C-alpha cells in the first residue's frame, strides 16, 4: 500500500501567516512549544489529535480542514482505491489510513484502517463527543475506557461512548490491524 501523505504542516503555516500570527503566538495561545509548532509546520512530526485540535481551534478551523484535501466535494458515492488512502502517522508506531475519501463537514462518519506497531501506545486518555467502534483484524490490543480494561484479539469488536476517557496499547508480539469508525468525525 502506498498511501498519500497528508500535508498538515503547510496548511497550518499558510493559515497562520494569512491570519497574521507568528509561531510564537500559536505556541503561547495553545500551550505548545515553539519547537513543536515549527516541527509540525515543517512536517518533521505528525501532531497528535490533541495537538492538532489545539492548533485548529486557535486558527478557527475544524481539524478536518487540515486533513481533507477535497473539502468541496459533494459526490454521494466514492470509491477509494487502496493506493489513494490518506495516511496520518501519530508516531513511528501508530498509523491511521483514512478509508473515507475526505472528512469535510458534510460527512457523518470517519472510517479508518489503523496499524499499531508492536509497542505502540496511546498513553494519554482521549475524549470527544460521539461514539466509536472497531474490529480487530490482527493482533492483540489492550483497550481502557474509564477505569475498565479489556483485551481485544482477532475478530473481537468494541463499541463505546467516546466522551469517556479512552486509550489503548498493542500488547502482542505483532502489529495490530483494526478497522475503526468514529461518529461524528473528530479528525
pLDDT tens-digit series, residues 147-168: 999 999 999 999 999 999 999 9
Per-residue pLDDT at 1: 46
pLDDT classification of 142: cutoffs 50, 70, 90: very high
In three-state secondary structure terms, 86 is strand
Please report, rounded to a whole number, the percentage of residues in the chain having pLDDT higher than 90: 47
Q: What is the per-residue pLDDT across 58-100, written as a single tens digit (0 to 9) for each?
A: 888 877 777 765 544 556 677 778 887 888 787 889 999 888 8
Q: What is the per-residue pLDDT across 126-137, written as a single tens digit (0 to 9) for each?
A: 888 899 999 999
CA 175 and chain centroid, separation: 18
Q: Are 4-67 and 108-183 the same fold in CATH?
A: no
Report yes or no: 149 and 143 within 8 Å, Cβ to Cβ. yes
In three-state secondary structure terms, 132 is strand
pTM: 0.66
The domain spans of the chain are 4-67, 108-183
Report yes or no: 70 and 102 within 8 Å, Cβ to Cβ. yes
Q: Residues 108-183: name the CATH superfamily.
A: Jelly Rolls (2.60.120.10)
Report yes or no: 145 and 165 within 8 Å, Cβ to Cβ. yes
Which one has a higher pLDDT value, 77 or 185? Answer: 185
Range 1-23 average pLDDT: 80
Report yes or no: 51 and 26 within 8 Å, Cβ to Cβ. no
Cα distance between residue 64 and residue 53, in whole Å: 10
Cα distance between residue 118 and residue 113, in whole Å: 16
Q: Give Rg (Cα) of the chain.
A: 17
Q: Which fold has domain 4-67?
A: 434 Repressor (Amino-terminal Domain) (1.10.260)
Amino acid at each position: 500500500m502506498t498511501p498519500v501523505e497528508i500535508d498538515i504542516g503547510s496548511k497550518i503555516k499558510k493559515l497562520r501567516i494569512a491570519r497574521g500570527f507568528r509561531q510564537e503566538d500559536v505556541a503561547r495561545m495553545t500551550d505548545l512549544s515553539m519547537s513543536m509548532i515549527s516541527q509540525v509546520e515543517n512536517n518533521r512530526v505528525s501532531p497528535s489529535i490533541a495537538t492538532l485540535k489545539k492548533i485548529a481551534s486557535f486558527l478557527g478551523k475544524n481539524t478536518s480542514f487540515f486533513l481533507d484535501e477535497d473539502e468541496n466535494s459533494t459526490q454521494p458515492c466514492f470509491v477509494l482505491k487502496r493506493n489513494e488512502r490518506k495516511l496520518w502517522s501519530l508516531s513511528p508506531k501508530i498509523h491511521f489510513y483514512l478509508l473515507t475519501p475526505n472528512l469535510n463537514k458534510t460527512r457523518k462518519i470517519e472510517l479508518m484502517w489503523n496499524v499499531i506497531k508492536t509497542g505502540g501506545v496511546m498513553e494519554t486518555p482521549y475524549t470527544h463527543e460521539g461514539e466509536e467502534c472497531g474490529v480487530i483484524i490482527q493482533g492483540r490490543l489492550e483497550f481502557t475506557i474509564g477505569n475498565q480494561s479489556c483485551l481485544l484479539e482477532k475478530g473481537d469488536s468494541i463499541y463505546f461512548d467516546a466522551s469517556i476517557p479512552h486509550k489503548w496499547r498493542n500488547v502482542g508480539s505483532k502489529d495490530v490491524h483494526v478497522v475503526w469508525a468514529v461518529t461524528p468525525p473528530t479528525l
